Amino acid sequence: MSIQIYHLIAFLAAAVVVLWTTPDVRNIGIKSGKVDKPDARKVHHRPMVRLGGVAIFAGVAIALIIVWWLGGFGYLSTEKEWQVWGVMFGGVGFFLIGLADDLFSLSPLTRLLVQTIIATVVWKVGVSIDFISIPTLGIFQLGWLSWPITIIWLVGMVNAINWIDGLDGLAAGVSGIAALVILFVASFMNQPAAALIAAALAGATLGFLRYNFNPAQIFMGDGGSYFIGFTLAAVSIIGLVKIPAFTAIILPYVILAVPIVDMSAVILARLRSGKSPFAADKRHLHHRLLNLGLSHRWTVLFIYSLTLWVGSIAMAIAGIQSGVAFACAATSLLSYTSWKVWRRARQ
């Protein structure tokens, strides 16, 4: 079988597992009382099970095990195979941190400390940002700076995805779109390891939307958002950042621009107002759109279109033949949703 067949198998297997297991996870959550209760900052109005990350994690893990069993890892070099297992190890670790927070409410400092420890182990096994490429100047090895830069990227993306998980279907949809773009770009750049993981993650997150899109039946919780954020960040490293070309290195930041910019803007706003960057508030993009009068669904759809647009730009930058046409279509979609936002803001 060709490697593209294994990508399809990973996508479909992850989606099927999530569709099959999510109702059971929800029932277990209801019986155990592990629910997210409404408060002044949250948008939902009734207690919601927040253990959907269990199904997402299971979907990705089982999909990759199936691909491995079928021989799909035979396309990978020994180094790339180790990187896949490194990503999976880190994914398990971040999932367990998030799940522990869902069940026992860990302190922010405890979460950050354990996240840093797990990210350090992942960095040691080769999921690392080792160099930067600057046009006209060449490649610069980072040396000891590789560790802090990698940690900031991994831990930062984990929390960026966690922070946008504020509306039904928002984090799952944004992550699913980003994973699909990474799948196409990594495949185009002949990075099968990253493409396999991205395919599984795309299948799991988009399958989860069946139960998570507005009105949601279940939330992914911190277990899901931590696992998704880490996997997106790690796949970007092994599939794009390690390619010694400037365009490849900037692609992850373009693909994941929506959660990155949202988190950065919120942190700066909190610091300017003298608050802790970890103090929860309503400064996120989705909160601002809701305040303009947009409905829950239109807010989510607008951010989807924004994510799709930056993803299409990344595909065009990567040199994918259909990237420009896709970017034009995504621009038209974003123009329409932006017009809806502008019209609502004027009312």
Run of H or E including 36: strand 35-36
pTM of the model: 0.94
Calculate mean pLDDT across residues 323-330. Answer: 89
Mean per-residue pLDDT over the chain, rounded: 90
101-153 confidence digits (pLDDT tens): 999 888 889 999 999 999 999 999 889 998 887 766 677 888 899 999 999 99
Q: 3-state SS string over 161-227? A: HHHHCCCCCHHHHHHHHHHHHHHHHHHHCCCHHHHHHHHHHHHHHHHHHHHHCCCCCCCCHHHHHHH
Among 30, 117, 97, 29, smallest CA distance to 57 is for: 97
Per-residue model confidence (pLDDT) at position 118: 96
| Domain spans in the chain, listed from the N-terminal domain onward | 3-248
CA of residue 80 relative to chain centroid, distance = 21
List 134's β-bridge partners, or say none.
Answer: 138
174-205 confidence digits (pLDDT tens): 999 999 999 999 999 999 999 999 999 999 99
Ranking 68-72, 198-202, 273-277 by mean pLDDT, the lowest is 273-277
Per-residue model confidence (pLDDT) at position 228: 98
Among 283, 230, 271, smallest CA distance to 118 is for: 230
Per-residue model confidence (pLDDT) at position 41: 56
Q: Would the pLDDT of 271 be above 90?
A: no
